[in-house]
Structures are given as C-alpha cells and as structure tokens.
Chains A and B, each alone.
Chain A
Amino acid sequence: MKFLEDIILKLGAVDRRFIFILIGLAVLIPLLTPISLPVRETPTTVKFYEGIESIPKNSKVLVSFDYGPSTRPEIHPMNVGVLRHLLRNGNTIYISCLWPDGIYMALDALEEITDEVNPDNKSTFNIKEYEDYILLGYRPGAEAVIKGLASDLRKVYTVDSKGRFIDDIEMMDDIKNLNDFAYIYSGSAGYPGTFEWVKYGGDPTGVPMSSGTTSVQVNEVIPYVQTGQLIGLLAGMPGAAEYEKLIAVPGIAIQGMAAQSFAHIVIVIFIVFGNLAFFIKQRRDRKY
C-alpha cells in the first residue's frame, strides 16, 4: 500500500513536461490512426441545422469569416459545413470578413468546396464566382462595417476582393443592405464577431442569424441562443463535429473528436492522480 501511495505521490509531483508529452501523444496518435467515436448532437446544434434548413431555397445568405489561422481547427470545419449546406439548398452566398485573416480562410474554404469530388469524380459543387458566391473581402472597422452593411452596403463595399466594382456585379443588383439577406451567419473567434453581428446586424434589422464560435466563447454567447437572437449555435469543435454528422459529410471536426476525447481523458486522469496525491500527502502530514 505504501509503495502504491509513493507512486501516486510521485505522479502528483510530476514535471509538467511529462504531461506535455502525454498530451502530445494523446492528440497525435488518434490523428495519425483515425479512431471513430460516436458523435451525439446537442440541442443547440440541431437548432442551428434546422435554422439553415428552414432558409427558403435560392435565398441570399451572408456568411462572415471572422477568424484566423489560430482558431481554424474549430471554426473552419463549421464554415465549410455551412457553405456545403447552403449550396446544397441552392442558396447564393455573400462572403464578408471582419478579420484580415478571414479572407484567406474564406479562400481556403472555397477551394475545399470547389475541389470536392463525388464518387463519379465529378465536382460536387460546380460553383461559379459571381453566380453562386461572391467574395466581398475584408474591411477594417469591426462594428462600423456591420453598421454600414445594415444601412447601405455600398458605403462599406465599393469593390469586391478582386477589385471589381460592386455595381458591375449582377449578383449585387438587389442587395442594398442587410435587410436584403434571408440569413446571416458568422463563424467567429472573438472580436469582432458574434456579439457585434447580433448587436448591430441581426437585432436592428430582424434578419435571422446564427453563429459558430470557439468553445471558450460559448458561455458568453449562450444567452443570445436562449433569447432567440441566435438560431442555435455551433459550439467549438464538438459543435462542428455534430454539424458534420447532421449534414452527413464527415470532415476534420469528426476526425478531431477522438484526439480531443483522449486529450480530455489524459487531463482527467492527471487531475485524479493529482488529487489522490494531495489527499495522501495531507494524511501523512497529519500523522506526523
């Protein structure tokens, strides 16, 4: 028993680099040898899915890429999934970016969608720029951009990301401001993002909107879901994985769930051993 207690005490005082190595392995191994784990949908994700499904076919939807490479593993799968879902339902997509990095994330997402092929080796989504989507691009100003979009889109965007005049683009003919969109979606990793879209975009105009956020932000954003200001929510990578399951296109988020699961298990095991060591030490100190 004493031997076991000594081992637990040693584990309780382990060098943090040992923890780093184990976390690294817990994440790396499931990514290299994919393990399939069942994904269970949460009500917020189901609500999100149903929100997108309920958009009338062939509607105009604004999708905002408000994240960068650091939060890409969480938000990118969501945004790619949303693009897939929208295109599948024949909607036209208008892409804006409140983060300067967002434009590159948008380009990558579009490339992924364009390169996707079905079993017959044909492109799944034969999308054309200026017909199925338009990449408006990044504009600085955070909430000022959203306020501008809410009043007059042309105040904010005179040209798109390629420098083409907005007035010369047929897709933009019927778009004056946010009220001309059927839905707003923001994949957001912080500021500017979900809050700003709700405060200055969705709420004032009444256009239905939803969002995908990092896991850390869910706490802050959940009140908006409760009040109905957001129609559901994609909460971090688990939310992205649930959404991939709902749209029946498994992607990187579902693959990443095994890695996340094992990493969490490793952390919990260390916490348990740490506490056991704590209690053993307390008991021994009391004895002496």
Chain B
Amino acid sequence: MNNKYQVYAVGIVGILLFTLALSALPESLNFFREEKSAMFAFTLTVIMIMLYEVRLAKSSSEDIFLRTIPGLKAVEEAVGRSTEMGRPILYVPGIMDMNEVETVAGVVVLGHVANMTAQYETELDVPVARAIVMQSARQVAKEAYMTQGRPEMYNEDMVHYVTDDQFAYAAAVNGIMQRDEPAACLYMGKFFAESLLFAETGNSIGAIQIAGTGSQTQIPFFVTACDYTLMGEEFFAASAYLSKEPELIAGITAQDIIKVLLIGFIMLAIVSRAFFDLGLTDFNLITLLNL
C-alpha cells in the first residue's frame, strides 16, 4: 500500500516537472497551451493512477472490495422475476447517441443483461432512439447470446429503432410498456424529460424498475419513481461491478484515489482563497493555475 502511494507521489512530481518543461520550451518548438497546464497535469495524473491501479490489479491475487450497489444486485433479481412471470424485459439505453459516454455505458450494461436473459431464456426488448446505438446494441446483444451458447435465441429485431424525436420515442416506449407489460424495466443511459414518463408508466404496469443515469436533472425523478437507481458514478461503475473483472474494478479504485486528491486540492484552494481575501497572501491558487 505505502509503495503504491510513494509511486504516485513520485509520479505527480514527475508530471509537474514535465509540464513545467513543456511550458518552458522555446517559442519555435512550443506547441503546448500553457494556460491549460493545470488541466494537463491533472489529466496525466489521472491516467497514471488508472494505469498503475490496473497493473496492480492484474498482478494481484486479492479481490478488490466494492461496496454493494443495491441497484446492480437487483438486475439479476429483475431478470429472474421476468423469467418466472414469463414476461419480457424492457431495456432503454437512453435517448442520446454513441458520442455520449452514458450511452456507451448503457450499451455495455445491456451486454451484461443480455448475458442473463440468454441464460434464463427471457425475452428482451430494446427500443432505441438512434440508429448507431441500434447497431452497437445489436452487436453487444448478439455476442452475449453467442457467449451463452444460445445463438438461436437471438433475434436482431429484439433491438429495434423507433425514432430520434424525444417525445415520439417516449410515446412509443410507453405504448410498448402498456401493450407488452414487461415484468422489468431497465433505464440505463442519458435521459431528459421523458424519464418520468417512462418511470411512471412502468410503475403503473407493476414492473420492477432499475434506472441508471449520469443526467443530474433526471436522477431525482428516477429516485422517486423507480425501485432502484444508480446515480452518476454508480452507473459508470456498473460494467465493472457486473463483470467483476479486476482491471475494470481497478478503474473504480483509481477514481476513488483521484477523488481524494481532488478533495485535498479543493480544501487547499479554499484556504488559499481565504488567505488571499483576508490580505494575508498576494496570490490566489485558482487564478495562479488559471482554473
């Protein structure tokens, strides 16, 4: 443990020196934006910590502790419930395109859910709002069914395109919910105002609902109306959590370390700003770092 943090300390010093060196390059060779030095150093620090944690996880035999995330534990319960009731699972990977990280995360979680539905022989319905997402989701679902040895159960129409328009999509998904009455509704991705429309309709049909999103404004609606909600980081950790792969879980450990560093920096910035406002110092850390 101590060794790891020593490595990080040395690494951070190295990154700072490297950034300073880049800023000190002569004009003719200077391709670096000096005003973004702080962000550059932070980005390199994040990359260093992440790659080192992954390396440690690969070489270590110990399990990395992850706290229980009820929403993710409930995914298997939801699939089981659908199987028992003989009703399908509805999976909504958000309404945005694959250029959003949340959508990619949603499609990744779909892969895990498709693994389970293949295993339990449960019907899966994935209406999507973007054609590229349709292609990607189909690929992921197909691989999941192949991996489980159930290629005959896969049908490419289980992932189908509806429409790009937000409320037309919401109307279509609500219609699917009311006609097909899925036993479980999973909402994983980026959502806007239609989130409550989905959640309330799902509630009215008595489905178990699990939502995961990084859309800050929609989290309260999902928390209110769904049985389980993965908020922000929990959603991005879902893939690691469900796959239980050490490399992916190491990414979450890295996130935690970076968060601690950030908190430390915020405290330092507050103290620096307080000293500056009180006239005790003549510099302010935030303006110094051009943040």
Contact = CB atoms under 8 A, between A and B. Distances in A.
Q: Do chains A and B touch in the complex (CB under 8 A)?
A: yes
Given A70-B166, A70-B167, A220 B216 contact: yes
Contacts of A214: 193
A216 B193 contact: yes
Interface string A182-211: 000000001100000000000000000000
Interface residues on B, range: under 10
Contacts of A217: 217
B32 interface: no
B167 A219 contact: no
B120 interface: no
Interface string B258-275: 000000000000000000
A60 to B, nearest CB: 29
A222 to B, nearest CB: 12
Contacts of A191: 96, 192
A220 B232 CA distance: 14
Contacts of A219: 216-217
Given A70-B193, A190-B192, A216 B166 contact: no
Given A70-B193, A190-B192, A216 B217 contact: yes
- Please report whether the interface of chain A is mostly helix, strand, loop or mixed according to DSSP: helix
Contacts of A71: 193
Contacts of B204: 16
Contacts of B166: 70
Interface in B158-200: 166-167, 192-193
A254 B174 CA distance: 33
- Please report whether the interface of chain B is mostly helix, strand, loop or mixed according to DSSP: loop
Interface in A77-93: none
A220 B193 CA distance: 14
Interface in B193-250: 193, 204, 216-217
A219 B216 CA distance: 9
B167 A220 contact: no
Contacts of B216: 219-220
A205 B120 CA distance: 56
Interface string B271-285: 000000000000000
Interface in A207-265: 214, 216-217, 219-220
Nearest to A68: B166
Nearest to B99: A142
Contact of B217 (A16, A70, A220): A220
A53 to B, nearest CB: 30
A30 to B, nearest CB: 23
A217 B220 CA distance: 12
A190 B204 CA distance: 27
Contacts of A70: 166-167, 193
A191 B216 CA distance: 13
Nearest to B221: A216
B274 to A, nearest CB: 18
Contacts of A16: 204
Contacts of B96: 191
Nearest to B217: A216
A214 B162 CA distance: 26
Nearest to B204: A16
B79 to A, nearest CB: 28
Nearest to B200: A16
A217 B204 CA distance: 27
Contacts of B167: 70
Contacts of A216: 193, 217
B100 to A, nearest CB: 9
Nearest to A190: B192
A20 to B, nearest CB: 11
Nearest to B196: A216
Interface string A10-22: 0000001000000
A190 B195 CA distance: 14
- Of B193, B204, B216, most buried by chain A (CB within 10 Å of CB) is B193
B106 to A, nearest CB: 16
Nearest to A218: B217
A214 B204 CA distance: 27
A217 B193 CA distance: 10
Contacts of A220: 216-217
- Of A70, A219, A220, most buried by chain B (CB within 10 Å of CB) is A70
15 contacts: A16-B204, A70-B167, A70-B193, A71-B193, A190-B192, A190-B193, A191-B96, A191-B192, A214-B193, A216-B193, A217-B217, A219-B216, A219-B217, A220-B216, A220-B217
Given A70-B193, A216-B217, 15 more contacts: A16-B204, A70-B166, A70-B167, A71-B193, A190-B192, A190-B193, A191-B96, A191-B192, A214-B193, A216-B193, A217-B217, A219-B216, A219-B217, A220-B216, A220-B217
Interface of B: 96, 166-167, 192-193, 204, 216-217
Interface of A: 16, 70-71, 190-191, 214, 216-217, 219-220
9 tightest A-B contacts by CB? A216-B217, A190-B192, A70-B167, A220-B216, A220-B217, A217-B217, A219-B217, A216-B193, A219-B216
